[in-house]
Amino acid sequence: MIPFSLEMPRAIHFGREALRKLPETVREIGARVMIVSGGGWLRSSPWEAAIERGLEGCVVHRFSCPPAEPSVQSVDAAAAAAAAFQPDVLVAVGGGSVMDTTKALSALVKFPGTVERFLEGLPGTAPVPGPGLPWIAVPTTAGTGAEATKNAVIKSTAAGVKRSMRSRHLLAQAVIVDPEITLSLPPGVTGTSGLDAFTQLVEAYVSRSTTPPVRSLVEGAFPLMWDALDGLSRSPRNVELREKASYGALVSGIALANAGLGAAHGFAAAVGGMFDVPHGLACAVFLPHVLAANRDVIARDIGKLVGASHGREAARDPVGWLASEAARFLGAYGLPADLRGFAIPGDRVGELAEKSTGSSMRGNPRDLSMKERTEILSRVV
Residue-level pLDDT, tens digit, the chain, 381 residues: 788 889 999 999 999 999 999 999 999 999 999 999 987 667 777 888 889 889 999 999 999 998 888 999 999 999 999 999 999 999 999 999 999 999 999 999 999 999 999 998 888 889 999 999 999 999 999 989 999 999 999 998 887 888 899 999 999 999 999 999 999 889 999 999 999 999 999 999 999 999 999 999 999 999 999 999 999 999 999 999 999 999 999 999 999 999 999 999 999 999 998 998 999 999 999 999 999 999 999 999 999 999 866 777 788 899 999 999 999 999 999 999 999 999 999 999 999 999 999 889 999 999 999 999 999 999 999
> Which residues make up the CATH 1.20.1090.10 domain(s) of the chain?
185-380
Question: How much of the chain is helix, strand and coil, in % rounded to 5?
Answer: 55, 10, 30
Name the residue among 79, 85, 95, 91 with its Cα closest to residue 54: 91
CA distance 33 to 56: 11
User: Where do the DSSP E strands lie in the chain?
Assistant: 11-14, 32-38, 59-65, 89-94, 135-139, 151-156, 161-166, 174-177
The residues facing 176 across adjacent strands are 13
CA distance 82 to 61: 9
For residue 259, count other CB atoms closer than 10 A to its CB: 26
Q: 198 exposed, middle or buried (CB, 10 Å; 0-12, 13-18, 19+)?
A: buried
Q: How many helices (H) and strands (E) does the chain have?
A: 14, 8
Q: From CA 220, how far away is CA 208, in angstroms rounded?
A: 20
Would you tell me how many other CB atoms lie within 10 Å of the CB of residue 349?
18
By C-alpha distance, which of 172, 177, 192, 149 is closest to 243?
177
SS3 294: helix
Which pLDDT score, from 0 to 100, does residue 313 have?
78
In one-letter notation, the amino acid at residue 362 is: R
| Nearest residue to 281 (alpha-carbon basis) of 349, 380, 181 | 380
The pLDDT value given to residue 41: 67
Whole-number Å distance between alpha carbons of 69 and 279:
9
Q: Could you tell me the pTM of the whole model?
A: 0.95
Phi-psi region of 15 (alpha: psi -120 to 50; beta: other; left: phi over 0): left
Task: Say if domain 185-380 classifies as CATH 3.40.50.720.
Answer: no
Question: Where does CATH 3.40.50.1970 sit in the chain?
Answer: 11-180
CA distance from start to end of the chain = 43
Q: Topology of domain 11-180, per CATH?
A: Rossmann fold (3.40.50)
Q: Where are the alpha helices (DSSP H) in 307-346?
A: 312-316, 318-332
Q: What pLDDT does 14 receive?
A: 98
CA distance 22 to 238: 24
Closest CA to 125 of 138, 114, 112, 116: 116
